[in-house]
């Protein structure tokens, strides 16, 4: 499996510095938080996009995903959501990233939210296919378990639409790693790993210092023969009191490598 980390852990850090951290600490890729307060976002000009893509190519580090904030199950008009999603797809294409992350963001009865999300993802799948980018629905908010996500992804049934497994949200949703993997395996894009102290305290911790079932997750993935990406999403942006990520990257990588070795 390949290892990455999210720029959510180093908010606002310039791309060259992010790439230097990844290279120094042995990570293969970077998940890019696509927000206007970050260096990489859909408002970049063609020249700026080309510069970022060149930085990645020169570093040997891969741009894993453009992590956007489109909420595909949210109520309202489809046009705005699809416009936002298409902008993220174009950005990922221009940077050479294989994935775009979207949130569910549903409200009301889940049947209605499921239908809204499936309709929008089905429409956007054609754009994704044309651009060679895959849309990943994260296990999050209104659809935090694998069982929730597959209610949307099953009806979509398109190879360019898949799942992003956030291990914290499926755990908070009461789902065991084996259950999540069984639900998402056919459409799994990659896995976000992290650690927290408890249900009540989700402040990010160093990997292995909290309660999330990272060992079980890696074992399930290994037993299933899955050989994709593990991405450390350290949510420093939302928790100012959390320790800075750069000082944790080496130990985090060592912990993941150890888990992978034990699961082999």
Q: DSSP label at 45?
A: -
Q: How far apart are CA 263 and CA 172, in angstroms?
A: 24
For residues 126-131, average pLDDT: 98
Q: How far apart are CA 227 and CA 40, in angstroms?
A: 27
The string of pLDDT tens digits covering residues 104-127 is 999 988 999 999 999 999 999 999
- Domains in the chain (CATH in brackets) are 2-263 (3.20.20.150)
The string of pLDDT tens digits covering residues 198-225 is 999 999 999 999 999 999 999 999 999 9
Q: How many CA atoms lie within 13 A of 44 on its CB side?
A: 23
The string of pLDDT tens digits covering residues 12-69 is 999 999 999 999 999 999 999 999 999 999 999 999 999 999 999 999 999 999 999 9
Is pTM beyond 0.75 here? Answer: yes
For residue 113, what are the CA distances in angstroms to 33, 59, 60, 98, 142?
A: 25, 41, 40, 26, 9
For the chain, percent of residues with pLDDT exceeding 90: 98
Q: DSSP label at 186?
A: G
Amino acid 220: pLDDT: 97
């Amino acid at each position: 499996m390949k290892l990455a980390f999210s720029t959510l852990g180093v908010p606002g850090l310039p791309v060259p510095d992010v790439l230097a951290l990844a290279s120094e600490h042995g990570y293969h890729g970077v998940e890019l938080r696509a927000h206007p307060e970050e260096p990489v976002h859909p408002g970049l000009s063609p020249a700026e996009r080309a510069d970022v893509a060149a930085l990645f190519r020169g570093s040997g580090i891969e741009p894993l995903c453009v992590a956007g904030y489109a909420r595909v199950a949210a109520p309202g008009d489809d046009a705005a959501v699809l416009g936002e999603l298409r902008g993220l797809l174009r950005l990922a294409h221009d940077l050479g990233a294989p994935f775009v992350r979207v949130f569910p963001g549903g409200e009301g009865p889940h049947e209605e939210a499921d239908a809204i999300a499936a309709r929008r993802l089905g429409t956007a799948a054609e754009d994704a296919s044309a651009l060679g980018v895959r849309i990943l629905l994260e296990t999050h908010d209104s659809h935090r378990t694998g069982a929730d996500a597959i209610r949307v992804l099953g009806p979509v049934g398109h190879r360019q639409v898949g799942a992003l497994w956030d291990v914290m949200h499926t755990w908070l949703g009461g789902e065991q790693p084996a259950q999540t993997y069984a639900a998402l395996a056919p459409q799994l894009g990659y896995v976000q790993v992290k650690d927290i102290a408890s249900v009540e305290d989700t402040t990010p911790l160093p990997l292995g210092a909290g309660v999330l079932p990272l060992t079980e997750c890696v074992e399930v993935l290994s037993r299933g023969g899955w050989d994709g990406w593990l991405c450390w999403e350290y949510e420093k942006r939302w928790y100012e009191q959390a320790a800075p990520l750069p000082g944790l990257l080496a130990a985090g990588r060592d912990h993941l490598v150890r888990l992978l070795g034990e699961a082999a």
